[in-house]
Amino acid sequence: MTQQVLAQASGSEGLAPDDRAVWCEYAWLGTEGIGAAVRIQIDAEGYVSSVLPGVPAQEGDVVLQGVVFPAAANAHSHAFHRALRGRTHDRGGTFWTWRETMYAVAGALTPELYEELATAVYAEMVAAGWTSVAEFHYVHHLPDGTPYGQGTGQPHAMELALARAAVRAGIRLTLLDTCYLAGGFGQPLEDGQRRFSDGTAERWLERLGALRETVAALHPEHLVSVGAALHSVRAVPERDLAVIAHHLPEALPLHVHLSEQPAENADCLEATGLTPTGLLHRHGLVHERLAVVHATHASGEDIDLLGNAGAGVVLCPTTEADLADGLGPAGPLRVAGATLALGTDQHAVIDPWLELRALEHGERLRTGTRGHFDPEILLDIASSGGARAQGRRGAGICPGSVADLMAVDPHTMRTAGSTRDQLVYTATAQDVRAVVVGGVLVARDGVHTALGDPAELLVAAIARLDGVARDRTHRFVSDNPTREHH
C-alpha cells in the first residue's frame, strides 16, 4: 500500500510491487459461492486483474489459508475516541455525559500525540480486517481555537498528522474535514469545542480548499483523499448550511451525524419546524453523495427522503448499543433505497464481524423476526457500502475490484463447525489470520508487518496522552482554585 509497507511486505513474501498474486485456500466469490484454490492476480495499481479458481499457488504468491473475504471499509471513525475504551462504560450516564469525557481527551491532543495514537488505532483496524477508513475529523486548531500555522505549528497540523498515521499503518484514508460552528441550536460554542471551529462556513470552506491542495500534493488519492462533513445540524446553523450547500464542491463525499438522539430531533423541530433530514433536504443537501451517520431516530418521512435520493447511511451498531442510542431502522432504510455502510465510531469495538452481526441482531431485536440480511448482503454492506460512503472503489474478489482481502480461520473455538458461507455469523477479528491491501500482506495473526503488535502501540500512545491530560487538569485546577473538578 504505502512504499514503506510495500517494501517490507515484498521482502517477507518475495513479491515485487508490480508483479503479485494472492492464492487463497478458499475464497468468497459472491453469488458463485465459495471457491477452492483461488489465485487472484493483481495489477500494478493494486486492483484485481483476474480470478482463477482451482489452480495451484505459484512461487512468490502470498498464500492465505482459511476462507478469504473482501476486506471491510470503515465508514465512520473518530480515532481519538479509542482512548476512551474501557473508561466510560460503567455507572450509567448518557450520551451527553459520555461527551464530556470525550471533550477532555480532545483537549489534550497535540499533532504529535494524535499522530502516535492514530497510527496505533489504524494499525488495530488493519489487523482486524478494515483496510480503509473515513475519519470524521473536527479537532482542527489549538485548544483556544487559534489555527495551527498562526504562530504555532504548521498549517493543517492535525490533518496532516492523521494522513501520516494512515500512511504508516497502510490504511486507505478518506479524511472528512468537518464543519463545527455552534454548541447547539442558537447556542455558542462551549470551551471544549473552540478548537473544532473555523468561526463561519466561509472560513471552513476556505480552509477545506487549502487542505485539499496540500494533501493532494503530498499523497496519491488512492491512499489519502479529503472529503467533507457537517458535524450535525445542531452544530452548523441554518445560515451556514445554505452557504455550504451553494459552495461545496460537488465531487466531494459529504457526511453528517443525523438523528442519533431524540433530543436532536426535538431541538431541530423546535428551532426550524423540520427534522434534521428535512432541514438538510430544504437546502438541497440530501443526495447520493451524502452519507448520514446513525439515523437511529429517523422518521418514516426521513427514511423516504434518504432512500429516494440514494443516500448512504452509516450504521455503527456497537457504538449505538454502548451509548444506548437505540436500534436504528436498518431494514426500512435499505428497502427505501439507501446504501448501508458500517463504522466503528467511538471504537468501543474495532471488529467488522461484530459490527456485521450486531446489524443483523439489531434488526431481529427491533422486529422480533430472524433473517434480515443474508451473508452476501452483509459482506456487501461491509465492503462496497463502506467504500461508496468514502467515495472509493470497493474491495472484492472479481476483476476491477480493489485487491483488499482478509482471511478467516474456520477452525477456531468460535468458528469450528461453521459452514464457510455462514462464517459472517460466527467469526470475530480474533479469527482474522491475514490482511492484504492492494495485493500486499500488511498483517498476519494480529501483527502488523511494518509496525508490530498494535497493542504495544496503543499502550504507549494512550499512556502518553494520559500524561498530557493529567498535566492539563492539574494546571486547570491550579489556575481555577474555586472550581471543583469532576
Residues belonging to the active site = 294, 345
| Residues 333 and 304 sit within 8 Å (Cβ to Cβ) | no
Euclidean distance between CA atoms 348 and 81, whole angstroms: 8
What size, in residues, is the chain?
486
| Residues 227 and 171 sit within 8 Å (Cβ to Cβ) | no
Euclidean distance between CA atoms 449 and 451, whole angstroms: 6
Euclidean distance between CA atoms 420 and 154, whole angstroms: 50
* Buried b or exposed e, range 397-412, using 16+ CB within 10 angstroms: beeebbbbbbbbbbeb
